Amino acid sequence: MEIDGIRMLIGLVIGITLLIMLVLKTKVQTFLALIISTIVIGLIGGMPLTATDVVDAAGDARAGVSIINSITSGFGGTLGGIGIIIGFGVMIGRVFDISGAAKRMAYTFLKLFGKGREEEALALTGFLVSIPIFCDSGFIVLSPIAKALSNITKKSVIGLGVSLAAGLVITHSLVPPTPGPLGVCGIFNFDVGNFILLTIALALPMIIACIIYAKKYLSRKFCWTSDAEGGIVEQSGQTPDYKSSFLVETKDLPSTFTSFLPLVLPIILILINTIASALKLTGLFWKIMIFLGQPIVAVGISLLVAVFTLGHTFSRDTILHEMEKGMASAGVIILVTGGGGALGRIITDSGLGGYIANGLAGSNIPLILLPLAISTLMRFIQGSGTVAMTTAASITAPILIASDTVSPVLGAIACCVGSLFFGYFNDSYFWVVNRTLGVSDGGDQLRVWSATSTIAWAVGVVEVLILSIFMH
């Protein structure tokens, strides 16, 4: 089935405009707005409504790309990867909160890094954690620390949470062995070890810029703190209270080891899985470790460990009730995350991304800008950073290698940097970060996360352009 590119572009513009208006100006719930806009994009773009409307040249109905198929597969595909993890993660968060483990972790961070460096501490934690695991999973598991730090210091939970989220997503987008950068390395046939060292160095200025934005703007704009149960409370010009934070009574809190165990255990399991899979280790032991290191299994084990080590002082009914409270809060996060996946999928299935990417590849723009432009546009159009960078790499790698005027490694970096651009409604991480931090207003969501991801992208673009002067 051919879809006219210009018509699909018009559908995209109208659909995104409608989505923004519904979210910002009406009482329509975000999830419903996402689905409505997705349908509008498909209709205007000329996609069939259902699979039975997809007809081949012989006139026989057959299964194919349709609006309904794209919505259901996009919704299910997105939640298939992170839906269960979100559910497990919010339950772990409730156990952390009621047991005092989150406070113990926060207090440990304060002692290690000192007052006034909470954002840096969280960003560094996210930076390291996201090397072996997905940023969505990492944020769900680590966000209780940001909330606990906010509760005991009275610092903005938005500034703290965004610093954590930035550290996670920048590493996730640049540094192997996360799938996107690893795939880009494979396409460009570049040594993974060297790529890791180079991208870690390039990631640091990006993280610093995001921390500055979080501390200097978001923390002042959103004077929101976290309460004792992990909920978000709006304050008016609250200043940090370090005196009280260092006087926290810790004798009734779990030990540091017990508190951190449910957090560190899944990270270790996933890291073992990543290494064992990369080295293609065989044998029963490694098969078991690879299974246990699957993100869903690892976070599930973490939940069991949290229940039996941190929840042993509570009654069965209390623990179940608190976990069910966490599950209730996960409902909105899961729905809007799936809705964002549906929006991204219909744009991918329509063929619009390939239409634009191929058009750019045939243009006369400077070669170093080609992978950057394709990755950036693909990211904006369909939401997935991994799809954006691997698509850009697949199209531009043969061109750059054949030209012999632009360093292939620089082209690979450009593909990864472009995938950070303006995370918004069709990006699952946009919803995970905003909803976990209690940000529900559409305009605030754009300030909190879309602007942050764009700052990281802008710094990365400058780095690519500077490196292009020296690398050929």
The predicted-structure confidence for 50-93, as pLDDT tens digits, reads as follows 766 555 444 443 345 788 888 888 888 877 767 888 788 778 87
As a whole number of angstroms, the distance between CA 66 and CA 53 comes to 8
pLDDT in tens, 386-430: 888 888 888 888 888 887 778 889 999 999 999 999 998 888 899
Q: How deeply is 144 buried, as exposed, middle or buried, from its count of CB atoms within 10 A (0-12, 13-18, 19+)?
A: buried
pLDDT at 359 over 70: yes
pLDDT in tens, 38-60: 899 888 888 887 766 555 444 44
pLDDT in tens, 11-45: 888 988 888 788 778 878 878 888 998 899 888 88
pLDDT at 244 over 60: no
The pLDDT score that the predictor gives to residue 62 is: 36
Name the token pair of 435.
């909803």
As a whole number of angstroms, the distance between CA 206 and CA 452 comes to 10
326 vs 58 pLDDT, higher one = 326
Q: Where residue 230 falls among pLDDT bands split at 50, 70, 90?
A: low
Give the mean pLDDT of 199-227.
Answer: 94
The pLDDT score that the predictor gives to residue 63 is: 43
The pLDDT score that the predictor gives to residue 237 is: 58
pLDDT at 245 over 60: no
Measure Cα distances from 79 to 73, 88, 277, 333, 336 in Å.
Answer: 10, 13, 23, 10, 10
The pLDDT score that the predictor gives to residue 60 is: 40
The pLDDT score that the predictor gives to residue 226 is: 85
The pLDDT score that the predictor gives to residue 1 is: 41
222 vs 313 pLDDT, higher one = 222
pLDDT in tens, 251-290: 678 888 998 888 888 878 888 887 888 788 888 999 999 9
Q: How deeply is 111 buried, as exposed, middle or buried, from its count of CB atoms within 10 A (0-12, 13-18, 19+)?
A: exposed
Residue 379 amino acid letter: R
Report the percentage of the chain scoring pLDDT > 90.
Answer: 26
The pLDDT score that the predictor gives to residue 138 is: 81
DSSP string, 176-220: TTSHHHHHHHHHHT--HHHHHHHHHHHHHHHHHHHHHHIIIIIHH
Name the token pair of 416.
């990864």
pLDDT at 437 over 90: yes
pLDDT at 215 over 70: yes
pLDDT at 354 over 60: yes
The pLDDT score that the predictor gives to residue 462 is: 97
The pLDDT score that the predictor gives to residue 44 is: 87
| DSSP state for residue 379 in the 8-state scheme | H
Q: Where residue 243 falls among pLDDT bands split at 50, 70, 90?
A: low
The pLDDT score that the predictor gives to residue 120 is: 92
The pLDDT score that the predictor gives to residue 457 is: 98
Name the token pair of 78.
């997105």
The number of angstroms, rounded, from the C-alpha of 181 to the middle of its chain's C-alpha atoms is 14
The pLDDT score that the predictor gives to residue 59 is: 46
What residues does 233 pair with on adjacent strands? 225
Reported pTM? 0.76
Contact at 8 Å (CB) between 146 and 110?
no
DSSP string, 341-363: HHHHHHHHHHTHHHHHHHHHHTS
Quote the mean pLDDT of the chain.
83
pLDDT in tens, 118-168: 999 899 888 887 776 778 878 888 888 898 889 888 899 999 999 999 999
